[in-house]
Amino acid sequence: MKKQIILSLSAAALMLTACSSTEVSSPDSTGNAVLDYLNQAAANDTKTGTDYSALSSEKQGYGQGVQLDSENRPAGAIDFNNTYGKYNAEAIGDSDDKTIRLTFDQGYENGFTGKILDTLKEANVKATFFLLDDYARRNPELVRRMIDEGHTVGNHSVSHRSMPTLTAEECRAEITELHKYIKDEFGYEMTEFRPPMGEFSERSLAVTQDCGYRTVLWSYAYADWDVNAQPEPSAALKKLTDALHNGAIYLLHSVSQTNAEILGDFIKAAREKGFEFEALSDR
């Protein structure tokens, strides 16, 4: 089912109540109450309105694991949803959803993102790109292309710090400072957050939710990030295809030459098995 995100003044006020005790001013001429809030939050070192002291700050490291159910769905992703879904956090979609969400973590540019975007455009597939602040600032032309071609741009934090090691205010800043930059520079509102290294705590998930974001992990990932030890393309394609399951969220890295080479073949193989693709914000 398609998800429509409607940002209104009432929604911005709700986000403010949870994320900061600062009062929201009236929307500017664009009606952007959320950006008003972010501007004020950045200028005022206020404590959050939510009491996070009752929530665990213990660091959790996520992985989908190797145990699968009868539908090829990883038990680790299902357990994450069941445990942390109350914080608007997920690692896998519905069991009856034959749709794949391709997500790419954008730590730095290695020359393959353009080819990935070309393949997605040719195949008419929308994906999600989780950006770090440094990536967004260094590669504005690629960010603009992602947005203009209908992909979802997600928030991967300002500085790639482990969220559960930070205070609630520091967690908030990692999210909202990049949010403000992307809004100011590209006129785009991000709504999905992927915590660096897949590390989280109850507290960091709650802060993320209170700042108006959904936390998105993944139900499949493989060793594709080491540019000096890239997986062999045919073996990598088999891994990706064998892992197909309903509601899948694939984590890939755009620094991977292998991913750029096999992406079109993977899309074709998935469609032959009855799957389709969509970006996270299209749900």
| Residues involved in catalysis | 105, 253
CA distances from 141 to 114, 148, 189, 197 (A): 10, 10, 17, 26
* Cα 212 from Cα 225, distance rounded (Å): 29
* Cα 184 from Cα 163, distance rounded (Å): 24
250 forms beta bridges with 102, 220
Amino acid at 85: G
* Cα 89 from Cα 83, distance rounded (Å): 9
Kindly report each contact of residues 85-89 with a partner whose C-beta sits within 8 Å and lies 24 or more positions away, as own/partner: 87/202, 87/205, 87/206, 87/208, 87/209, 87/215, 88/208, 88/209, 88/213, 88/214, 88/215, 89/200, 89/205, 89/208, 89/209, 89/214, 89/215, 89/216, 89/217
